[in-house]
Structures are given as C-alpha cells and as structure tokens.
Amino acid sequence: MKRIYLDNAATTPVDERVLKEMLPYFCEKFGNPSAVYTEAHEAKFAIEAARLQVAKAINADPKDVYFTSGGSESDNWALKGVAFKNRAKGNHIITTAIEHHAILHTCEFLEKEGFDITYLPVDDQGLISLDDLKAAIRDDTILVSVMFANNEIGTIEPIEAIANVVKEKGIIFHSDAVQALGNIPIDVKKLNVDMMSFSSHKIYGPKGVGALYIRKGVPIEPLIHGGAQERRRRASTENVAGIVGFGKAAEIASEELEDNMAHLKALRDALIKGVLGKIPQVRLNGHPVKRLPGNANFCFDYIEGESILLSLDLIGVAGSSGSACTSGSLDPSHVLLAIGLPAGVAHGSLRLTIGRHTTMDEIHYVVDNLVEIIERLRKMSPIDAQSPIDDAVYHH
C-alpha cells in the first residue's frame, strides 16, 4: 500500500535534486573548510554558494546569513544571544503564547536567569493584536519575537506591521519563519526584521541544518563558542553537505514558490471543503484566509485526536495531532488552548499538512475515509454526545 504523507509541517522528504548536490561533499570534497588546500577551498566555496542561495530566497545580504544546526538553534541563539548581550539596557522580552517550543522553552530558561517575559495572547483565529503589543512595550524591553506562521494552525501574523511598531521604539525584532520559508514570500528587507530563523528540513532539505538571519549591526552574543567559523559568531566545523543541501532546497523553494503555493492552496481548500461539508460537528482551527497554503487543522467533537491518527495510519495516512513535539503527551496543545478552545475540544484535533508531492486523488481518498473513521469513532466514544462540552468560543 502506498503511503499518503500529510505531515509536511513536521518534516519533508529530501528532494532528489537536493540529495544530488549534497553527495560529493561526503566522500570526495570532504575537506575542512577552514584549511588551506584544494579540498578545503572546494568546501569553503560550496558553503558560500549556499549562503548566496539562502540569502537570495529571503532577499538578504549574504553576509547576514549564518548557518546553524536547525530552527531550534536559530531560535535559541536569537533569544539568548540578544538577551545576554543587551542585559545592561533592560531585561524585558515580549513573545506570544503560540510560539514553537524552541522559543517558549528558551523563554522559560531566560525567566530562570532573571529576564521578564510577556506572552502576548492571540484571538480565536490565532492573530496577535498590535494594540496589545504596543501596550506591552516598556522602557526596558530589549527584544520582541513573534513567529511568522504558526506550525499547528497555520495562522500568518502581520510581521511587517509588527516589525514597524517594534523598530519605531528602537527594539530588536526577531521572527521564527521556519514554517513560512518555501510556503509564502519572504523579504527580510521589506519585512523590516532584525533576525529571522529558518530550517532546512521543512523545505525538502536535510535535517540538522538551518540559518539565522542577523541584520548587520544587531548586538548579539554567540551561542556556540570555539573556532572562528561563521564570521566568528558560530563555532564548529561546518556541516558542509547539509549546508549545500539547504542552499539547493532554498533555491528550489524560491524558484517554485508561486507554483507550489497554488498547488498547496488548491489541495488545502479541497480538503477543508470536504471535511467541513461531509462531517458534522467539526471546526477549522486557525485563520480562514491568513493561513499557510498547505495547512488544515480541525477539531472533531467527542473524539481524541490520537485515535483519529491511529485509524488514519491503518489506512496508510500520516497526519498529526498538534505538533510533533506534543504528540505522545496527553497535554492539549498550547496553541489550541491559546485560541480559546476548551481542553476537551482541543484533544480532538487533527493537523493535516500538504506538501509538494501530495495529489488531489490523495486528498479525496483521505476525505472519504475520514468521514467513515469519524463516524465509527463517535459510535464507540466514551464521551457522551449528549453531555455538553460546549463553550461560548466553540459554538460561535
């Protein structure tokens, strides 16, 4: 049975074109990029070519692109690096309640180190309010971090407007754009951001590599100390093959962005229309329009997301209930709670994220089978369909 992969927000397969670019850098062009002979120059040259590819995809100056081990490291570096470097100016940081754990858990760590963190709330579609942001800014605020697009519900935040509010106050602005890259246009100059995080494996590149965009002049401490790599800001011998793969993946993502967006959107809309039209007592989570082109996130009354996932897996479909980081735990997603869902409803969530390789036939197969799965699970549900799990937010 051919599998249907609908968890592209968790990770994507490496594109064949990406793998082909990477292969020579394992056994042939294996030199340490910091050395002075031919093998080293080849590797060094490949890293700089990849830096140019990533920079082009986000309209950055290549000198402002720093390679890291992934989205998590980029987020950690942005927050800890700015927090520790600017402590004399203040110890207040603003972020949102719906960030990825790479941001939220870093903030919890910084709280233990004495920093004061404000977590902005979001509305029932996952958007922060500019008025809340303005009201939260203080004289001692040194950093604001707001994600570009949410990994669970797909909501896209108004990053340019947010950046303008933050920059007007002379505060450093960071955005986690891991889910945005390859899915919506990114122009770091137009968006007016100081720092932005990216990850390779979400855009059909290899795992374990990412980037942090740091605009020239932003005061930041290194996170990894050691050698002089990455302009003395991020030590460790470069993951050359990984960086080469990330560069190629970023190039493909930006060249094919428009076609890919149209493809994802057509399939996503068919999926949402099918599910909302054919299944009773279901709600779409996230913003109806300002959402990632490949993201669909639903809550089904009276059932556990986990049991939907198991049933889907049996018919060859890979989906997710919230995020990869929370599945396996019984806590409802912090994002679904932040948009106001009661814990009982948040447990019945299903995230299906469409990718480059998904077909319309696959979407039809999933919708048709989901109708039966939900009906069957509801019949065996221990949650009494008559008893109200109802809530003002849910039944709007």
Ligand X SMILES: *Cc1c(COP(=O)(O)O)cnc(C)c1O
Residue 106 or 311 having the CB closest to ligand X? 106
Asked whether position 239 contacts ligand X by CB under 6 A, the answer is no
- Residue with smaller CB distance to ligand X, 196 or 220: 196
Q: In whole angstroms, what is the distance from residue 284 CA to residue 194 CA?
A: 33
Phi, psi of 358 (to 5 degrees): -70, 145
Q: Contact between 100 and ligand X (CB under 6 A)?
A: yes
CB atoms within 10 A of CB 387: 8
Rule CB under 6 A: say whether 202 interacts with ligand X: yes
Of the candidates 151, 209, 177, 169, which has an alpha carbon nearest to the alpha carbon of residue 14? 209
Assess whether 107 carries a catalytic annotation: no
> How far apart are CB 178 and ligand X at their closest, in Å?
4
**Angstrom distance (rounded) from CA 122 to CA 336:** 10
Which of 210/245 has CB closer to ligand X?
A: 210
Stretch that binds ligand X, among 53-61, 70-78, 212-220, 370-378 (CB under 6 A): 70-78
- CA separation for the pair 133, 129 (Å, rounded): 6
Q: How far is CA 85 from CA 110, 194, 219, 222, in A?
A: 13, 15, 7, 9
Verify binding: residue 352, ligand X, rule CB under 6 A: no
Nearer to ligand X, 102 or 317 (CB): 102
d(Cα 214, Cα 50) in Å, to the nearest integer?
17
Q: Rule CB under 6 A: which of 150-189 touch ligand X?
A: 151, 176, 178-179
Quote the DSSP letter at residue 127. Answer: -
CB 68 within 8 A of CB 74: yes
Contact 206, 67 (CB under 8 A): no
**Site track for ligand X across 107-136, x = CB under 6 A:** ------------------------------
Region from 50-58, 197-205, 302-310, 329-337 binding ligand X, contact rule CB under 6 A: 197-205
Integer Cα distance of 98 and 374 in angstroms: 28
Q: Which stretch binds ligand X (CB under 6 A): 67-75, 267-275, 310-318, 348-356?
A: 67-75
Total of chain residues touching ligand X, rule CB under 6 A:
15
The span of 108-116, 194-202, 270-278, 385-393 binding ligand X (CB under 6 A) equals 194-202
Q: DSSP state, 386?
A: T
Q: Which residues are catalytic?
A: 325
Q: Which residues bind to ligand X, rule: CB under 6 A?
A: 70-72, 75, 100, 102, 147, 151, 176, 178-179, 199, 201-202, 210
